[in-house]
Structure 1
Amino acid sequence: MATVTTHRQDNQAVYVLHTYPFKETSLVVELFARNFGRVATTAKGARRPRSAMRGLLQAFQPMSATWSGKQELKTLHSLDWNGSLLLLQGEALMCGFYLNELLLRLLPREDPHEALFEYYADTLQRLATGQDLATILRRFELKFLQELGYAIPLATDMDDEAIVAAQNYRYVAESGAFKLQGALGKYDNGVQLLGKTLIDMANDDYGQVQTKQQSKQLMRYLLAHYLGDKPLHTRQLLIDLQDF
């Protein structure tokens, strides 16, 4: 007798990124799994008032999930708490939803990124403190793009020369930093910034006001480039609340 392959994955570390209705009583549940990346599953009957799984579909909480299926849309069999409850409030909550939307938009399905998973979990813990949220977002945005394989050179310019702190540059997506006098005319897009900003970002130092402001402009520009014509809903909400 032939062996039946169920493609079942048991007790996988996950976070719930998003849910939306599916058929009459079910939900599609988008998961971020440590060992599998972004996984789309169906939670059958989860929209019923007495569904045991309904109350577990909470964003930002470490979970353990079991699913099976050979197609892109798996069947979610169970979901359990896998750690202490994390509470995000106010602007920190909006920042959390922003991270989730970034993952939904740019992270390919079933493309494992274990280091990104751990960094996401750590970032949620940092958001829960409610302190310096803008810097927490900059760090995640940069790490996120780097983990996805996008080249974001910060230490050298396009001539492979070391970035000079006092030099003005224009940073162009998929190209890097050009000395400003050499980039005018040839590159009219991108973001103008000081070399010190790039050096600070490379050193994970966001202590200076100018670095905070220019790194925000740079990451907003780079994300818009990779997201294309469809902007993030949560990004606009954060801008409306406060200039993140």
Structure 2
Amino acid sequence: MSNSQDPVAPDEILPDAAGSLFRRTPLGAAPAPAKQARPRVRGQRVDDVPAFLIHSYPYRETSLILDVFTRSHGRLALVAKGAKRPHSALRPVLIAFQRLSLSWSGAGEIKTLVRAEWFGAPQRLQGAAAMSGWYLNELLLRLLGRDDPHESLYDAYVEALSRLAAHPRLSGALRAFEWRLLCEIGYGFDPAATGADEPVRAGARYRVPLEAGPEQEEPEAPQSGTPITGESLLALAEGRFDDVAAEPELRRLLRERLDYHMNGRPMSTRQVLHDLRSFPPLRADARPPGGDAGGPAEPDPPHPGKIADR
């Protein structure tokens, strides 16, 4: 069984520069003595930034290191002091897929979380939608650098979570986010034109190399790249990610491109999904441990140690 399939809902059919200041010295004046190094300045506090928790792992006895995705500052690492204590006010707030408003301070690579609040209505993903959400989070961890804002990618993440929460069909939301991520980090291409600047035709067949755009397929000439029809390329160009006919080819195209830029390292969420599918189906009268009768308990997120940072 392939490990690259999406989570399936029960009723789903798969198809700046900083300026410089110069001080003028009057002619004939002696040069000013060299200034001593100024003391280190403490980091500026940042308040009320929209964000999502992408990942967390224990730090010392009572704290957590958070990997968060913010709209205005990109990915950040924050230490949440005391968040593991039983009565910490942060424990019920710091959950995945929930919009947050975060405040922090500090100048180092890891800032200190000062305040965290929910931003907007509660949002919860369950079952296959939750596994899809963890997949999106792992993509961000693997491919997005820290301290690099991507506001349109943040907005695409918000939209993807909303679609996962509202619709039983998951594949369209995943394909849309995968494509936006590739474009944001510089690995996209023009799906409506070939490298020779010829428009893609619906009835033709193409190949898309991993580091280039579409090339028309030549039957007698050896070519590398992902095979794909013109119809599917035009669906990608027009944002028709729910196109059932195009979805299988778009999935293969985007997954191969993502895997290439992750240096072929397997994704933990895909492996978890594969492991879950290896279990035999439950009988209707079976009661799984930790879950209600009639279905398995919601899967836990992948273990923190299994999701590697970039």
After TM superposition, is the score higher than 0.5?
A: yes
**Per-residue deviation at 1:38?**
0.3
SS of residue matched to 1:224: helix
Matches for 1:84-163 after TM superposition, within 5 Å? 84-163=121-200
Aligned-partner residue type, residue 204 of structure 1: G
Larger radius of gyration: 2
In structure 1, what is the Cα distance between the partners aligned to 2:216 and 2:158? 37
CA 1:208–1:183: 2 relative to 1, 3 Å? farther
Matches for 1:5-24 after TM superposition, within 5 Å? 5-24=42-61
CA 1:21–1:2: 2 relative to 1, 3 Å? closer
**Per-residue deviation at 1:24?**
1.9
Aligned to 2:79: 42
The unaligned stretches of length 5 or more in structure 2 are 1-37, 278-310
Aligned to 1:219: 254
**Per-residue deviation at 1:234?**
1.1
* Contact 2:217–2:223 (CA under 8 A) maintained in structure 1: no
* Contact 1:170–1:183 (CA under 8 A) maintained in structure 2: no
Aligned to 1:168: 205
* Contact 2:173–2:241 (CA under 8 A) maintained in structure 1: no
Instruction: Work out whether 1:234 is the aligned partner of 2:234.
Output: no
Aligned-partner residue type, residue 222 of structure 1: R
Task: For residues 188-241 of structure 1, give each alpha carbon's deviation from its aligned partner in whole angstroms, at most 9, with x where no partner exists.
Answer: xx2111111001111112454330110011011011011113121113344666
Aligned to 2:26: none
Aligned to 1:185: 222
- The correspondence for 2:244, drawn from 209, 213, 217, is 209
* Contact 1:30–1:41 (CA under 8 A) maintained in structure 2: yes
Aligned length: 240
SS of residue matched to 2:249: helix
Task: For residues 150-204 of structure 1, give each alpha carbon's deviation from its aligned partner in whole angstroms, at most 9, with x where no partner exists.
Answer: 23220111211111111111111111211111794252xx211111100111111
Aligned to 2:115: 78
The unaligned stretches of length 5 or more in structure 1 are none
CA 1:69–1:152: 2 relative to 1, 3 Å? same
In structure 2, what is the Cα distance between the partners aligned to 1:158 and 1:232? 31
SS of residue matched to 2:218: helix
Structure in which a larger fraction of residues adopt helix? 1
- The correspondence for 1:68, drawn from 80, 99, 105, is 105
SS of residue matched to 2:214: strand
**Per-residue deviation at 1:34?**
0.8
CA 1:65–1:149: 2 relative to 1, 3 Å? same
SS of residue matched to 1:163: coil
In structure 1, what is the Cα distance between the partners aligned to 2:146 and 2:257? 21
In structure 2, what is the Cα distance between the partners aligned to 1:192 and 1:241? 30
CA 1:162–1:200: 2 relative to 1, 3 Å? same
* Contact 2:208–2:226 (CA under 8 A) maintained in structure 1: yes
RMSD of aligned C-alpha atoms?
A: 2.0
Aligned to 2:62: 25
Structure showing greater relative contact order (alpha-carbon pairs closer than 8 Å, 6 or more residues apart): 2
CA 1:2–1:14: 2 relative to 1, 3 Å? same
**Per-residue deviation at 1:5?**
3.8
Structure in which a larger fraction of residues adopt strand? 1
Moved more, 116-125 or 147-156: 147-156
Aligned-partner residue type, residue 18 of structure 1: H
Task: For residues 77-119 of structure 1, give each alpha carbon's deviation from its aligned partner in whole angstroms, at most 9, with x where no partner exists.
Answer: 1111111001211101111111111111111101001111111
